Amino acid sequence: MIDIAYLRERRDELAASVARRGFEIDLDALDEIDRARRLARSESEEVRNKQNTIGKSIAALQGKEREAAIQEAGQFATRYKALLGSADDLDEKFNALWTTLPNMTDPTAADGFEEDDAVEISRYLDPTVFSFEPKDHVDLGVPLGIVDIERATKMSGSRFGMIKGKLALYEMALTRWTMDMLSGHGFTPILPPVLVRESALYGTGFFPGDRAQVYSVEQDDLYLVGTSEVPLAAMHGDEIFDEESLPLRYVGFSTCFRVEAGTYGKDTRGMFRVHQFDKTEMFSFVHPDASRDEHDFLLEREEELVRALEIPYRVMNVAAGDLGSSAAKKYDIEAWFPGQGRYREITSTSNTTDFQARRLRIRFKDDRGENRFVHTLNGTAIAMGRTLIALMENHQQEDGTIRVPEALVPYTGFDTLDAR
């Protein structure tokens, strides 16, 4: 949800933002509804005030006077109900439209509407060069006995994978390493619930838009999260922070579940796009003036991690029209995947400004004692599935084994992924 002041006082900015996303809405009509509902509201309140005033006097009255007052108050009560009804109807009409609006777009977000419109802003290392024909993660992992797609499919169907042996230990090591790296930067590690209520998904902006991408557990009316961003954000819902307690930074670890509806035929090989994977995720609650810097900070953390993993990558400024509804601006890190011969997304960091904070009512008390919305940001630390694939494919050796980057060796306890 965005600040209604944009509609009332800064309509041009709002129109420009919406246009950059390719989102269509009639702002003039919306403004008219807003005016009408405010008028209806204040009319109803005036009548209510009169009704209240008379109503209070009734207790002290007797006999005829009392009867007359009840009569009069009754008339106001009837009028009030009618006026209140129309004010409520207008509110509902307004909100139905207003809540579909995507966040205000950051002026520095790239122009365009599609994935291909993203603008590359930096690059690290060149695509890995091999003296032999590189394999992809399936051809590497299956012979080593560290990846098993067939059996995962047998149990669970397509888009599932199974990680075994040293690769399983590798993931554990990566997780712990990420937690250590980020807690060193002031992020508090969290292992959140992965089943959440509907309100958590609305609050973070995934509902109603992405409903089809989320698994639901009907038995208890809960939903499996696609990212720990959801619980990390929603856990502070309805809270008011002291200004001094900001920024608040968390790194969550959770399994992530995604329906991947509408991706049939896309990335069907191996474990690149699966229904279930593990991910460490950064999440920040910050002062509104600090969110731009925090976004850079999160990107720096992501780059720091990927660099330590010795994976070639490029950083992309995602096009305005390709942003999710809650993001004002988003950077993707795309890693080089030798098996695919191209760059693919492995992390993503978004500045959602006050969009989620408004929906979740997360505020802070500023130095004048006023409650203001915080800004929230999220960023992938390590998405295990894809990162393991990138590590396998980039660090493969001619004999089919896989080298472990130096930074990770203290965590894995081995320096090579092999069959043993």
Partner RNA sequence: GGAGGGGUCGCAUAGUCUGGCCUAGUGCGCGCGCCUGGAAAGCGCGUAUGUGGAAACGCAUCGAGGGUUCGAAUCCCUCCCCCUCCGCCA
347 close to 332: Cβ distance less than 8 angstroms: yes
* Closer residue to RNA, CB minimum distance, 123 or 365: 365
- Residue 59 CB, shortest distance to RNA, in Å, is 4
List the strands of the sheet with 215-217, edge to edge: 195-196, 222-224, 215-217
- Residue 102 CB, shortest distance to RNA, in Å, is 20
> Does the annotation mark 386 as catalytic?
yes
* Closer residue to RNA, CB minimum distance, 133 or 218: 218
List the strands of the sheet with 329-337, edge to edge: 119-124, 313-317, 329-337, 342-351, 375-383, 276-286, 248-257, 188-190
Strand-pair partners of 317: 119, 331
Q: How many angstroms from the chain centroid is the CA of residue 266? A: 23
- Residue 237 CB, shortest distance to RNA, in Å, is 13
> Does the annotation mark 301 as catalytic?
no
- Residue 37 CB, shortest distance to RNA, in Å, is 9
- Residue 54 CB, shortest distance to RNA, in Å, is 7
Q: How far apart are CA 375 and CA 362, in angstroms?
A: 9
Q: How far apart are CA 257 and CA 120, in angstroms?
A: 29
> Does the annotation mark 344 as catalytic?
no
- Residue 222 CB, shortest distance to RNA, in Å, is 9
Contact residues for RNA, defined by CB under 7 A = 4, 38, 41-42, 45-46, 48-49, 51-56, 58-59, 70, 73-74, 76-77, 221, 240, 363, 365, 371
Residue 374 — φ and ψ, nearest 5°? -80, 170
* Closer residue to RNA, CB minimum distance, 45 or 406: 45
Sequential DSSP letters for 90-153: HHHHHHHHHTTSPPPPPTTSBSSSSGGG-EEEEEESPPP--SS----HHHHHHHHTSB-HHHHH
* Closer residue to RNA, CB minimum distance, 49 or 122: 49
Q: How far apart are CA 379 and CA 347, in angstroms?
A: 7
* Catalytic-role residue among 345, 361, 372, 403: 345
* Catalytic-role residue among 249, 358, 359, 386: 386
* Closer residue to RNA, CB minimum distance, 29 or 240: 240
Comparing C-alpha atoms, which of 182, 380, 377, 181 is closest to residue 295? 377
- Residue 234 CB, shortest distance to RNA, in Å, is 13
Vertex 312 angle, CA 307 and 317, to 5°: 90
> Does the annotation mark 38 as catalytic?
no
Place of tokens 């009867």: 67
* Closer residue to RNA, CB minimum distance, 53 or 100: 53
* Catalytic-role residue among 284, 326, 348, 350: 348
Radius of gyration of the chain (CA): 27
* Closer residue to RNA, CB minimum distance, 76 or 206: 76
> Does the annotation mark 258 as catalytic?
yes
383 token code pair: 């998405």
331 close to 341: Cβ distance less than 8 angstroms: no
Q: How far apart are CA 8 and CA 78, in angstroms?
A: 32
Comparing C-alpha atoms, which of 402, 180, 399 is closest to residue 310? 402
Point out the residues that are catalytic: 258, 273, 345, 348, 386
